Structure 1
Amino acid sequence: MLTVCWFLYLVRTADNALYTGITTDVGRRFLEHQTGKGAKALRGKGELSLAFSAPVGERSLALKMEYRIKQLTKRQKERLVAGDGSFEALYESLQTPPVKRD
């Protein structure tokens, strides 16, 4: 069975807001956002730019990462986009199985 790789991405709007999403094809999804066929949250937001994208693997992990990143402050998202290592740390924290407690 073919495994599909999911990506997490952040889009920057004209007013400098960051939108977080997941997809299996970043180029296609970004084009959908640019042409008004993507998320309603980005429609009418002016010029869009792809600020960040990274492969995360399976869909379940991509959904977890998307949720966690959407919980971050704008400053924390900006650091992630700048490549401060926070994406890698978050990725690793979600890869580690939970500790079983007695």
Structure 2
Amino acid sequence: MYRWFIALLIFLLLGLQYRLWFGEVNVRDIWDLNAKIELQKSINQELSQRNSELEAEVVDLKKGQAALEERARSELGMVRDGETFFQLVEPADENR
């Protein structure tokens, strides 16, 4: 009688172990998902930092004239009234 009971318990244990390691949702899948979650958390943290920097730049552009003026000068080549724009051109190579 005890042999059948022990055999049944061993069979149940093996069945549960099989489901744990090779079933539809197994331990390896959970480990993979946890690794993907950690990777996504680090990506989200980097993106959150970038968003904070962009938000600070937007606030600065809305409230500060200096940042707006600097951006207009560097990216659009704008000058103020009364200023003279000088463009320095490299001389052509005479050896050609």
TM range (shorter): under 0.3
Pair member with larger Rg: 2
Structure 1 or 2: larger strand share?
A: 1
Higher fraction of helix: 2
What TM-score, normalized by structure 2, do the two folds share?
A: 0.24
